[in-house]
Amino acid sequence: MSAGDAPRSAIWPSADYHRQVDRLRAAIGSTIHILEIEATDTHLCIRHLGKPYVLLDVLEFPRPDPARGIAPHLLLLDDGRGVNLGRIARVSLERAFGPSPDQILYQDEEAAKGLLFRDRQLTKERIAERSRAIVGQMLGRPIEESAEHLISDEQPADSDDPQARDR
């Protein structure tokens, strides 16, 4: 869900990114809420540390790397941390969850779509369907075109079926 996941032809960072950095700079000294992207070897999730922070500065980051999701800026917070924007899903004023659009200072669209607002996929049916597809592939059975997204974790591109979006 980082800039590294964007298609190679996409311009990085986007013009919207720079507009959002300007909004963050205008909010220096304000109390903000941060939803951070937490990535481990086994999962990717959004976490809120349960408290607001005062935004002290928005600093240029000297070694951005879109492949690793490291953005060209970081936020300096009142607890002494500097958090790279590539590790942040959303920064908002007044409230962490359910902020109005005018309260959102920064939002990583890919993280928001992929982690915050995406339909949950761990249903019994989804797990069983994926398990059958993977075991079938291991046993040498050809993968049906309709089941390819189960192996690759990609969503069907042209489906209007709400259950298809949940796979």
Same domain, yes or no: 137 and 60: no
The dihedral over CA atoms of 146, 147, 150, 156, expressed in degrees to the nearest 10, equals -10
> Binning pLDDT at 50, 70 and 90, where does residue 111 land?
low
pLDDT digits (tens, 9 = 90+) for 69-95: 788 999 999 999 999 998 898 999 988
- Domain total in the chain: 2
Q: Tell me: pLDDT of 137 over 50.
A: yes
Residues 53 and 98 in one domain: yes
Indicate whether 78 and 146 sit together in one domain: no
- Whether residues 149 and 91 share a domain: the answer is no
Per-residue pLDDT, 75? 96
Largest pairwise CA distance in the chain: 60
Contacts within 8 Å (CB) and 24+ apart, 158-163 = none
What are the b/e assignments for 47-65, b being 16+ CB within 10 Å?
Answer: eeeeebbebeebeeeeebe
Structural domain range at position 146: 124-165
Residue 23 has pLDDT above 70, yes or no: yes
Q: State how far the alpha carbon of 158 is from the alpha carbons of 2, 96, 110, 116, 144, in Å.
A: 24, 33, 19, 22, 17
Q: Are residues 139 and 110 in the same domain?
A: no
Contact (Cβ atoms closer than 8 angstroms) between residue 112 and residue 64: no
| Shared-domain flag, residues 141 and 110 | no
| Buried b or exposed e, range 77-104, using 16+ CB within 10 angstroms | beeeeebbbbbbbbbbbeebeebeeeee
